[in-house]
Structure 1
C-alpha cells in the first residue's frame, strides 16, 4: 500500500493546473482511435474502419462540442471551468491539434492504406486513371442513375446563395459563358441517397489487364467528369469539393413546450439547415477567390476552414468492410449463451432421434439467483431480448416497464413491447426523446408504441432519462414477484455486438421495490428521493459515490488499505476529481479505466501519486461502468449507466446497482484485473494528459483485453 503523507498545505486542489480541459481530452481520445488505423498490427480493413470512426466522431464533436465553444467565443462569454482555459484559447489549441491529426489521417489513407488495398485486388481509383471502357460505363451510369437525381444551383443576382444541409458533400463549380466571358458559381450537392463509391461491373473489374476483386471510384468524381451534362453550352472553369458542418446542439425549452414530441420534431428540422456553419472542409486546390466567396456567404471565419489533401469525408470508408476479405478483418466473435440460459433439449418420446431446443424459463433461472451478463461476449438475444420476449407472452406477467434511451431501427425489444400490449399487459415505455442524434428514431418508436396501446412517457422536465432498466411484474400463486434488469448499455441488439456492457438480472425484493419507486417518479408525480439499494441520480448517486470514496480515505488514514478501481467512459466532474486527489493524498490506491475524456491528472507528486489512469481502445467499444471499493477487504461492487460526469450525476436520471453475489463479484474483479494487466490495447496516461500505448516486453505474451476476456469467458463456461 502506498504510504500516506500529510497533504502539502501549499497545494490548492481547485487550482487550474490540476485539471485537463474536457475538449482537449476528448481530442486525445479520438487520437487514440486514429492510432488503431495507424497500427500495422490492426487488420487492414479494420484500419479503414477506425479511420471512418475517427471521422464520424469528429463530425459529432464539431456539431456539439466545438460549436458550443465557438458560440461562447463569439459572444465573448468566458465561463469558469476547472482547467481555466478561455473559449478562444481552447479553440486555438484544438485547431492546432486538429490540423495535425487530420493531415495524418489523410496521409495514412492516401499513402498507406489505399495502396495496401491494391495488394488484395481492391482499387479505389481516380477517374482519370480508368480505361476508356470503364469511363464509358460510368458515363452511361451517370446518365441513367445519377443525372436525374442532381440539381445544380447557380448563384447570381436572381439566384441567392443556396442553403446547404449539415454534413453535405458538395461540388463548387465555376462556369463561364463563352459568349461574354461572365463567370458564375454553381453548387451541386453530392446525393447522399446514392452509393459514395461506384463499383465497376464484373467484366470491367480489372486493373492493368488483370481481374480484380473490386474496382471503383468516388461518386463525386463521376459527377465532376460529366459536368457538361449539367451545364450544356457553358465552359467549365473548374470544380472543387467542399463539405460543411453545422451546429447541431439545439436547446428545447421543455417547460414551455405544450407538446414535447412536436417541439423536438420541429428542432430536428432546424438542425439540418439552420445551425451556423462551425466547420468548412475544402480541397486544398480551391482557388483563393472561390474560397473567400464561400467563407463570406457561409459566414465562416478563417480559423474554421480546414484544407484537405485527399478525399473528403473518410467516414464513408465503412463501405470497405463489406468486401469478402475475412482475412483482413477481426475474427468474428459468436456471443456465448450463458450456461444458465442454455436451451433445454426436449427429446421426442416416440422418436428418440428427434428433439427440439427451447430457451429455459428465464424467470425460474432468475429465481435461482442473480445473473450477470456481459455483452458482446455473451448473447444479448439469449438474455435481455429473451427476458422481454418471454415477459410479453407469459400469461402470468401483469406489467412490463422499461426505459428506452437508444434502440435499433428494427428493434425486437420494441416489437416485444407491442406484443405485450396486444396481450393486454400493462406496458410502460419511457422513451427519451432527447437522446442526441437518435431523436427522430425515438419519435417514430414512441408513435408506434402509442398506436399499439403502450403507455409512452417522455420523462422528467429538465432531466434526460439515461438509466437502462426494466421491471417485470409477475403473478406467482398468491404473491406478486418483481423481476429486474439493470444495465450499463442501451436496449439495442445492434450495438450489443459492438459495445462492452453489463446487465444484472435479479428478483431481489429491494431492487424490485426500488425500480417500482423509480418508474413512479418517471411516469407520475412521485417525488421519491430515497432508495433501498439503487444509487439514483440526480438524488443519491453523487452523495453515495462521494461517501464510498470518503470511506476508503477513512480506512487508509486509520492504517488499513484504501483502494478504488473505477471503470467508465468519461471522468469530468471537478468535485469527484478533487475528492480522488484527497484520497490519493491519504494513501488510497486508485486505478481508473477511462475510455474517453479524463480531466484528472494522474501521477502528480503530492496530489495524485497514487492514481493511475489507463484507456483501452480496440475491437469493441468499452462502454460498461464498474465501480469497486475495497472497503478494508470487504469489497463492494456496483454497475450502472452513469459516468463520473456532472451531467450524469446532477442532470440525468441514472441507476447504479450493487452486485452482491460473491461469484458475480469475483467475475467483475477478474474482468477489471484483465484490463489493468493489458499490454496490447491499454494506454497509460501521463500527468500532462498525454497517453502512451503499452507494448509487450521482449518475450512477453500479448494480453489484449478483448481477446483475454473472450478466452476467460470461454474457459469459465467450459470449467463449469
Structure 2
C-alpha cells in the first residue's frame, strides 16, 4: 500500500526546485543546445558550402525527431495530468514553455542560415528557383515535367461538407488552394497532399544546377491542375505527429504488436503544424479545426519549409563544394595475415577505429565465418543494420552453409522497427534462429560471437562495438570495434547471449559488466576508487567520452568525486545534464562537446587507478551504453575492459587524448549550461584530421614501425 504524500511547505518546495536547477541542466534544453551547435556549423565558413548545407539539413532532421518524440511525450504528460518533474525540477508544462521559446529561435536561425547559404549557392552556380525568374528553357522543361510526371501522381481534393477531410501523414506536406470557378465565380477550397515518393527538390537537367522545391513547383503550375478555375491564393503546410511507440509489457505477440504500433504511429497526434508566413487565416483555421491540434505548436515559416529536405541538394555533383574524399584504411595487421581475421585476432586483440578504419573488416569477420568450414556457430545482436546490410547477407549465407546462426533482432530500435521486422523475416526464412529479446528492455549491446573448431578444441572469437552494425553510419560515425579471443571475455559474451535469449541471468562475469545487472554498480565502484585514491593523496582522474550524460545517480557520483579532488574531463557530444565548473560542486569537472565532419559516437571510460593520466595502469573500458537511466536500467548493454597493452594505449593515449586536445571543433560547457566555442589559440588541433592522417596503433601491425610510429600526443599543463 502506498503512503500518503507528505505535505511540503511552499518555501521549502521553491528551495528544492532552486537547488535542482542549480545542480542540473534540463535534458530537453541541453539537447536543443546540442542542435544549436550543429546549426552553428552551417555558418562555419571553414567548411565547404555544400557541407554547410548538410549541417543545416541535419539540424532540421534533428529538430523534427525531437518534436515527434520528446515534445510529443511532454504534450502527452500534460494532457494526462502527469506532473513528473524533470531532473532540474520543471513540470512538463514549464518544460514545454521553455522548449517552444528555444525552438522558435532555432527556427529563426535556420531560416537566416538558409538565406545566407542560398545566396552563396547562387554565386557558386547552384540556383534555387522557388520564387525567382528562370530561363524560358528551364520554365518549359519544368512545365512539361509537371504535366507528365507530377499531375498523374497528385490528387486534388475539394474541402467541403461532401468530402471527408483528407488524412495528413506524419511529416506530410500539402498545399491549400483558394479557387474561383471562372463560369460562376463559386469559391472552392482544394487540398493537394504531396506524396512521399515525390522528390523534395526537382533539378532541371543541364550543366547549370537549377532546383525547385516540390511545393513551389506545384504552386507555380497549379493552373494546369485546375483548368476552369482562377487561383486566388495558395499556401503550403507541413505536419509532424507523435511518433513514439509504446508497447505494453504483457504483449503476447511482439511482432504483431509492433506491426500494429507502426501503423498507429503514422496516425499519431499532431505535435506541430508548420505554415508559410503569409498563410491565409481562413485556411489556417480550417487546418486547425480538422487536424485536431490541441497542444500542438504552430510554426510560421518565412523561408524554406522542411529544412531537413535540403539534404537532396547536398547530393549535387560538386566535389569542389564538399569535403575532400576520404577512404578508410583497412587494418594492415589483418592484411599481414593474408586477410585471415581469425589468425590476426588469435595473435592478439585488435581495435578498429571507424570511420578512419574500414567497417569492411567487421563484415569480413562475418563473411569469413560464414565460409569457414571450421566455424560451427555464430551469434549476433542487431540494433540498426541499415537497408542494404552486408551483415544480414553474411548471416544468411552462414545459415545456408549449415552453421548454427542466432540473431537477436531489436524491434524497438526507434524508426528502424519496420526495417528490423523485414530483416527478421528474411533471417527466419533462411534458417536463422531469430530472438527478439526482452519486451520491456531494448537489447542495445553490440556483440558478435563466432565459435570455431581448432586443433586445441573450440575457440570463440568476439566482436564488441560502440556503434551499430550499419555500413552507412560507419562511414560518418566515430566508433570502436574491438576484436578478441580472450577466453574470459568470450565466456562472458556467451553469458550475455544466454541472458537475452533464455533470460538466464549471469551470476558472475570475468570481465564484462552488463546492464541492467551490474553496469551501473561497476561504474560507481570505479568512481569510488578514484575518490579513495584522492583521499589518500594518490593521482585521481576520470576521463570519459559519451554521447549523453543524463543519469542523476552518475552525475551525483561525479559531483562527489569532484568535491573529493578527482580531476574529471568529459567529452559529451550531445545532452549533458551535469553543470561543470561550479565552486563547491563541480569545480574539478570540465565538459566539452565536439561537432565536426564526423559524428562522435564512441563511448569510453578511463580511470587513473592511482597513477598519472594517461598512464599504462589506467583502467580503460569501451561500452555500448551512454550515462542515461535508460541505458543503465532499461537496456541490455555491455561495458568491456581493455587489457591488451596496444589497444589500451590506442583508446586512452590516442582516441581519448586527441578528443581532449581538440581545439578546432570543440565547445566548452559553461556553468550556466550554455556552450562557448573553444578559441583555438596559437596551436590548432583538429582530432578528426589527426585520425585521418595518422595510423592507429593496434591496426597497423608491422607497418607501424616501418611508418616511423605515430606522433605522440601530450596533455598541456593545466589540462588535467
TM bracket (short chain): over 0.9
| SS of equivalent residue, structure 2 residue 152 | helix
SS of 1:713's equivalent? coil
The 10-residue stretch of structure 1 (623-632 or 93-102) with the greater mean CA deviation from structure 2: 93-102
Tell me which residue corresponds to 2:242. 247
Q: What is the correspondence of 1:266-281 to structure 2 with a 5 Å cutoff? A: 266-272=260-266, 274-281=267-274
Match of 2:655 among 641, 647, 671: 671
CA contact (8 A) 2:273 2:296 kept: no
1:319 and 2:312 are equivalent in the alignment: yes
Q: Relative to 1, partners in 2 of residues 1:511 and 1:79: Cα closer, same or farther, differing over 3 Å?
A: same
What's the counterpart of residue 360 of structure 1? 339
For structure 2, the 5+ residue unaligned runs are 1-14, 612-616, 710-720
1:13–1:578 contact (8 Å) kept in structure 2: no
Equivalents in 2 of 1:513, 1:98: separation in Å? 48
Distance 1:89 1:705 in 2: 39
What residue number does 1:400 align with?
378
Residue 708 of structure 2: which of 711, 714, 719 is its match?
719
User: Which residues in structure 2 correspond to 1:624-639 (within 5 Å)?
Assistant: 624-633=602-611, 634-639=617-622
Equivalent in 126, 134, 138 of residue 138 of structure 2: 134
Is 1:171 the counterpart of 2:175? The answer is yes
Any idea what SS the aligned residue of 1:656 has? strand
Asked if 1:645 is matched to 2:649, the reply is: no
Cα displacement (A) at 1:199: 1.8
**CA apart distance, 1:529:** 4.3
Distance in 2, Cα, partners of 1:343 & 1:178:
79
1:121 and 2:125 correspond: yes
Between stretches 369-378 and 522-531, larger displacement belongs to: 522-531
Q: Does residue 614 of the first structure (1) align with residue 598 of the second (2)?
A: no
Cross-structure match for 2:152: 148
Pairing 1:74–2:79 present = yes
Alignment of 1:528-539 (within 5 A): 528-539=506-517
For residues 651-682 of structure 1, what are the alpha-carbon distances to aligned partners after superposition, in whole Å with 9 as ceiling and x for unaligned? 00001100011221111122211111111101
Deviation at 1:228, TM superposition (A): 2.5
2:301 equivalent in structure 1: 308
Whether the aligned pair in 1 keeps the contact of 2:251 and 2:257 (CA below 8 Å) is: no
1 CA distance for matches of 2:92 and 2:85?
A: 10
Asked whether the 8 Å contact 2:650–2:696 carries over to 1, the reply is: no
Partner of 2:8: none
Q: Secondary structure at the match of 1:676?
A: helix
2:30, 2:575 within 8 Å by CA — same for their partners in 1? yes
Structure 2: how far apart are the matches of 1:378 and 1:491? 15
**Residue deviations 1:268-308, cap 9 Å, x none?**
11211x20100011100102222122112212258610110
Measure the CA separation in 1 of the matches of 2:426 and 2:597.
Answer: 34
Q: Deviations over 1:559-618 (max 9, x none)?
A: 112100010000000011011100000000000100000000000100000000000000
Q: Which residue of 2 aligns with 1:696?
A: 680
Confirm or deny that 1:654 pairs with 2:637. Answer: yes
1:556-567 correspondence runs (5 A):
556-567=534-545
Displacement of 1:16 in angstroms is 3.5
Structure 1 residue corresponding to 2:465, chosen from 476, 487, 492: 487
Residue 533 (structure 2) aligned to one of 555, 558, 571: 555
Contact 1:569 1:597 in 2 (8 A): yes
Deviation at 1:343, TM superposition (A): 6.0
Q: Which moved more, 1:682-691 or 1:248-257?
A: 248-257
Corresponding position: 1:334 with 2:327: yes
| Residue aligning to 1:374 | 353
- 2:32 matches 1:27: yes
Q: Deviations over 1:381-440 (max 9, x none)?
A: 0x2111111111111101000100001211111101011001110000000011000001
2:378, 2:488 → 1: CA distance?
A: 18
How many angstroms apart in 1 are the aligned matches of 2:312 and 2:293? 31
Q: TM-score, normalised by structure 1?
A: 0.92
Which of the residues 398, 403, 406 maps onto 1:425? Answer: 403
Partner of 1:94: 99
Once residues 14 and 405 of structure 1 are traced to their aligned partners in structure 2, the CA distance between those partners, rounded to angstroms, is 38
Distance 1:225 1:321 in 2: 24
Q: Is the 8 A contact 2:114 2:304 kept in 1?
A: no
- Please list every run of 5 or more consecutive structure 1 residues that lacks an aligned counterpart in the other structure: 1-9, 203-211, 345-358
Q: CA deviation at 1:11?
A: 11
- Contact 1:530–1:540 under 8 Å retained in 2: no
Q: Residues of 2 paired with 1:297 and 1:527: CA distance? A: 51
- Partners of 1:16 and 1:222 in 2: how far apart? 49
1:190 aligned partner:
194
Distance in structure 2 (CA, Å) of the matches to 1:371 and 1:461: 34
User: Per the alignment, in what secondary structure is the counterpart of residue 151 of structure 2?
Assistant: helix
> After the TM superposition, which of the residue ranges 522-531 and 167-176 deviates more from structure 2?
522-531
- CA deviation map 1:344-369 (0-9, x unaligned): 6xxxxxxxxxxxxxx42211111111
* 8 A Cα contact 1:127 1:135, kept in partner: no
Q: Contact 1:281 / 1:308 at 8 angstroms: preserved in 2?
A: yes
Distance in structure 2 (CA, Å) of the matches to 1:116 and 1:103: 19
CA distance in 2, matches of 1:148, 1:129: 26
Q: 1:291 aligns with which of 284, 297, 301?
A: 284
- CA drift at 1:80: 2.8
Q: Secondary structure at the match of 1:647?
A: helix
